[in-house]
Amino acid sequence: MHWSGISVVVDPMRNVPAELDTDQGDLELGRLGNFVGFRLRRIQNQLSRNFAAVLADHDLRHGLFSALAIISANPGLSQIAVAREIGLDKSLAVIIIDDLERRKWARRERSQTDRRRHALFITPTGEAALDDMFAKLELVEHDVLETLSPEERHQLASLLDRIYTDCFR
């Protein structure tokens, strides 16, 4: 299966590919075009770069926004669950949770059911910061999502969720 959909322009006089205008994005994906991971990562890289730029005033480390959002949506979950859900090493998750606490965006409490475990909760300050970050994320993703119809956005989300659930859980 070849997904790139870009044909090579051939110089008829020499029967070799004509020079591509690489500044305009006229590159062949080659075999990379056959891999969904590359296609997802290419979009994710662009969105992450744009999101980081609009959040520069928050001075966020990788994974902090995602961790805060997951904690907000799942009050009381463990550090291990946060690490698993956002795909981080457990030791890095501890550093991120420490940073969230330092910023007073989240707090740890001893679990009521397992005293060895900490339950994580977002603070009101954390919710306010998260609201601000989500508003900025919506601006970053607006133009990308506008290229899709509401049905296509729903289909894309459903397909990505199915791949994650079926392959990584």
Q: What is the pLDDT of residues 28-80, one digit of tens each?
A: 999 999 999 999 999 999 999 999 999 998 888 889 999 999 999 999 999 99
> 106, exposed or middle or buried, with CB in 10 Å at 0-12, 13-18, 19+?
buried
User: Cβ distance 31 to 37 under 8 Å?
Assistant: no
Q: How far is CA 40 from CA 44, 81, 141, in A?
A: 6, 24, 14
Q: Where are the domains of the chain?
A: 30-168
- Contact 92/86 with Cβ under 8 angstroms? no
| DSSP designation for 20 | P
Task: Check residue 17 and give its pLDDT.
Answer: 56
Query: Which of these CATH numbers, 3.10.180.10, 1.10.10.10, 3.40.50.11720, 3.60.70.12, describes 30-168?
Result: 1.10.10.10
Look-up: residue for tokens 């590159």? 27
| Residue 98 token pair | 């420490």
